[in-house]
Copies of this chain bind each other. A is one copy, B any other.
Amino acid sequence: MPTPHQSRADRRRATEARILDSARGLFAAKGFERTTIRAVAAAASVDPALVMQYFGSKRELFTQAVQAFPAPLTTTDTDALVDQLLSSLGPKLGGLPEGTLVMMRSMLTDQAAADHVRAALGRQIDSIGAALPPSEDPELRAALVITTLLGVTIGHQLLSLASLRDAPSDRIAALLRPAIKALAGPPG
């Protein structure tokens, strides 16, 4: 049912966006391997061949669906840094962009996704490590901060652990804050 008052170019952009959305949803839910071009096409009410024509390959579709992992943060104030990190967990429910979930879902079973995540987390770790109060191993502390948040996010968003799903996210943040601060370094 073609929406009226829409130019051919508009329709094309719309179709392309619809495909990309379906892909993101499926990749986020099932990962790279288990998401099939045919399923994406069906979800977008389109022929599989069209997906190929627009995106070239399944891999290319994946990278377009992912876009970017969160950019590294920079703050010199530890408290502000912690707040910023915690807010990325989701002010309400599922606060991080779907493209990020797509990456996380596939990072344990797809080489390309793993490389991407390793690099992105590495950048975050460096940037946080530099912002932490002086201590013996700022980079290791930063890595532990990041992996802690990673674990909580996985349990919450990807595994849907009941205890986390049912908890208000500001409560989660409140409980997490002292732990993150403890990891970050010497009080003060």
Q: Contact: A125 with B159, CB < 8 Å?
A: no
Instruction: List CB contacts (< 8 Å) of A85-108 with chain B.
Output: 104-108
> Can you list 26 A-B pairs with a CB-CB distance of less than 8 A?
A31-B108, A31-B109, A33-B34, A34-B109, A104-B108, A108-B108, A108-B158, A109-B109, A118-B161, A122-B163, A125-B163, A137-B175, A139-B163, A141-B175, A142-B163, A143-B155, A143-B161, A144-B176, A147-B155, A147-B161, A148-B152, A150-B151, A151-B151, A151-B153, A151-B154, A182-B182
Using a CB–CB distance below 8 Å, which chain A residues touch chain B?
30-31, 33-34, 104-109, 114, 117-118, 121-122, 125, 129, 137, 139-144, 146-156, 158-164, 167, 171-172, 175-176, 178-183
